[in-house]
Amino acid sequence: MIIGLTGSIASGKSTVSKMLEEMGFPIIDADLVARQVVQPGTETLKKIEALFGPEVIRPDGTMDREKVGTLIFSDPLARKQLNDIIHPAIREEMLRQRNAYIAQGFETIIMDIPLLFESKLQHFVDKILVVSVTEENQLARLMERNGLSESEARARISSQLPMSVKEEGADAVIYNNGTIDETAFQLAQILKQWR
């Protein structure tokens, strides 16, 4: 069974991912894969360099994320071109890792994909587990965690799909508004139902 784990910014998805990892489930982390596919020497990084020029590569051979970010920030076409290079590479690497875990005999694999719905990757997984949180908690956690003003935090939250939309698309929802123990209990109950 392939479980897609998702949530919104500051919902506690990383906490649940860590719990699943501690239970021994293999985790495929989309954010980590996004960094792996642009490592020095990769085809993806070569394509990015060909698109934006050698100035986006640091002397140590890594991608200069700040420079790339500046280039795509105000240029929708450049952003699309970058995404057209990176997204297929991320999907391919996630599927490669998934297939490797299946070949190793793992029966349950977790695909931790923050933008599961936004990227329309529901077909990658058998079950979708959404980590949800009230808007008040989300706002407070994000402001505290990232040192943001309320308006900055609200802007980040509103750039993602609303929690209610994600909950509608879920096979199960963990309501992460209480203690760590309450979250762990909900997770255990869901896994018991799915096995």
pTM, 2 dp: 0.88
- Residue range 1-26+107-195 forms a domain whose CATH class is alpha beta
DSSP labels for 118-182? TTT-GGG-SEEEEEE--HHHHHHHHHHHHT--HHHHHHHHHTS--HHHHHHT-SEEEETTS-HHH
For 32-105, CATH gives: 3.40.50.300
Tell me: the pLDDT tens digits for 147-179? 999 999 998 888 888 999 999 999 999 999 999
Average pLDDT, the chain: 94
**Where are the domain boundaries for CATH 3.40.50.300 in the chain?**
1-26+107-195, 32-105
The residue type at 42 = T
Q: Which of 150, 175, 123 is nearest to 13 (CA)?
A: 175
